[in-house]
Amino acid sequence: MIRQWPPIPLHARHHLAHLPAMKCHTALRLSVALFWAFFLVDIVLIFLLDSTLPAELRAWHSRPHQQPTALEITLNLLGGLGFVLMVVATVGLWCLRRWGAQLSVLAIILAYAVTPFYGPTVEPGFVSSVSSASTLFLGMALAIAFFTDALKPAPQSS
């Protein structure tokens, strides 16, 4: 029999049994925090770097818009609903709730279903890179939520 040196006291062994789940909790919360950090930086960069677009794209981007159609109003409402769902879902993930992961998937499906109807997107490459990083961190959070013990309740001690 191989013994661990230095020996772990009996009272500490109980706490070590929960260590992997605690690391999963930390990784999940870190990925949710990074998702929101990159998402917010993305929003700020959209406004800051809009002036770096070539003149033709800036002109196209700032062209006068017509009166919105019923379809555009519906799409904007669905996009807003998706954003609200994502805020609630990531709060649920932060609080280590399984419904947060499930609601995140629903919000992502809604966002990706609505996005093609918005038409072309014009943004600087750096903004696109930050947006992609934000999406990766959300994917990482969902992978941790669904494929680790991060959202499983801690076992009850008797």
Radius of gyration of the chain (CA): 22
For the chain, give the percent of residues with pLDDT over 70.
Answer: 83
pLDDT value at residue 1: 47
Residue type for position 60: W
pLDDT value at residue 54: 87
Quickly count: other Cβ atoms within 10 Å of residue 63's Cβ: 8
Which residues of the chain carry a pLDDT beneath 70?
1-22, 154-158
pLDDT value at residue 158: 52
Instruction: Evaluate whether 154 touches 18 at the Cβ level (below 8 Å).
Output: yes
Q: Which residues contact 109 (CB under 8 A, 6 or more apart)?
A: none
pLDDT value at residue 57: 84
What's the pTM value of the predicted model, to 2 decimals?
A: 0.79
137 closest CA partner among 96, 90, 91 = 90
128 closest CA partner among 28, 20, 52 = 52
